[in-house]
Amino acid sequence: KGRLRQFHQIGAELLGVPEALGDVEIIALGAHILKTLGVADAVKLELNTLGDSESRAEFRASLVKYLSAHLKELSQESRDRLERNPLRILDSKDEGDRKIIAEAPKLAEYLNPSSRDFFETVCAGLDRLDIAYELNPHLVRGLDYYCHSAFEFTTEALGAQGAVLAGGRYDGLVKTMGGPATAGVGWAAGIERLAMLVGEVESETKIIAIVPVGPDMEAPAFALTQELRGAGFCADLAFRGNISKRLKRANRMGAVCAVLLGGEEASRNNVTVRDLGSGDQQEVSHEGLQAHLKRYC
């Protein structure tokens, strides 16, 4: 579920910032977007450090030595990776591999002081922002231009395809592509997976239907819709049909209430708010409308 032959991504990158707080900022942006989409409670942040090249080289040598001693027990895919990309074996889903990996050396044990300080700064920054995370020592990146932070926002709501937003620091990428050495950290998120996840989470957004009563009230209704949206309400303007059809449409879309704009009420600078659950309605002044609508949201 969520693994498609064709898919689309959105992403964010922060270039030219080598400090650990750059990692915190880019992770916080991802967390903010997921919260805004209403799926924050359906995901968890997994975090690891790859250290710098010096730390990783020492760890790689130790890992290869350990895995070579268990070569016959590894899956064929992991045997193929042992020489060209041994760190990717840590991400193997094979049950036999998982048992061997559980006892493998941990990269955290090979971090030099500067790499350890970098990761501690990242963790402290996330703690200050109240962004919860779980350390996952098996979260790796296979390409050499990656370093330090690796992270994924994962979910159990989409089955095996759990990662919805993933990224890390890649200070060596620009140089690898022929450019000047440039620090970089970023992430990418699958739009289709995000859409599926949003669909799995019950929406807490409360829709308010705006219903003009008569042609003369359509322009004021449009203006009111924009005003309410600007104030943070989810307002929907019913464009067509008589009042009955517009209210039926509001009920079908799950609106909690309807704001009816009629000429008589408008002459008093008022509107009528109808509760679409109970059918009760009340005339409310334009100035007091937003405060009244907050009861529904």
> How confident is the model at residue 120, as a pLDDT?
97
Domain of residue 153, CATH code? 3.30.930.10
63 lies in some domain: no
Domain extent, residue 268, equals: 207-293
Q: Are residues 159 and 47 in the same domain?
A: yes
Considering the domain architecture, whether residues 144 and 241 belong to the same structural domain is answered as no
Please tell me whether residues 116 and 22 are part of one structural domain: yes
pLDDT digits (tens, 9 = 90+) for 122-155: 999 999 999 999 999 888 886 778 899 999 999 9
Q: Quick one: 219 and 163 in the same domain?
A: no
Q: Are residues 119 and 37 in the same domain?
A: yes
| C-beta separation of 96 from 74 below 8 A | yes
Distance of CA 103 to the CA centre of its chain: 32
Distance CA 174, CA 190 (A): 23
Q: 21 is written with which tokens?
A: 């707080």
Q: Is the same domain home to 196 and 234?
A: no
Q: Which of 173, 134, 127 is nearest to 151 (CA)?
A: 134
Residue 113, pLDDT score: 95
Q: Which residues contact 208 (CB under 8 A, 6 or more apart)?
A: 228, 233, 234, 235, 236, 255, 256, 257, 258, 259, 293, 296, 297
Q: 288: which 2 tokens?
A: 């007091």
pLDDT tens over the chain, length 297 residues:
556 678 889 999 999 999 999 999 999 999 999 999 888 999 999 999 999 989 988 988 998 999 999 988 899 989 988 887 888 888 788 888 889 988 888 888 889 999 999 999 999 999 999 999 999 988 888 677 889 999 999 998 887 668 899 999 999 898 889 999 999 999 999 999 898 888 765 556 789 999 999 888 888 999 999 999 999 899 998 777 888 888 888 888 889 999 999 989 999 999 999 999 999 999 999 999 999 999 888
CA atoms within 13 A on the CB side of 124: 8
Could you tell me if 30 and 122 lie in one domain?
yes
Is residue 134 a part of any domain in this protein? yes
CA gap 22, 256 in Å, rounded: 42
Give the count of domains, the chain: 2
CA distance 257 to 279: 9
Query: Is the domain of 215 the same as that of 173?
Result: no
Question: Considering 200, 234, 267, which residue would you say is the last residue of a domain?
Answer: 200
pTM of the model: 0.67
Left, alpha or beta for 18 (phi > 0: left; psi -120 to 50: alpha)? alpha
One domain for residues 269 and 219: yes
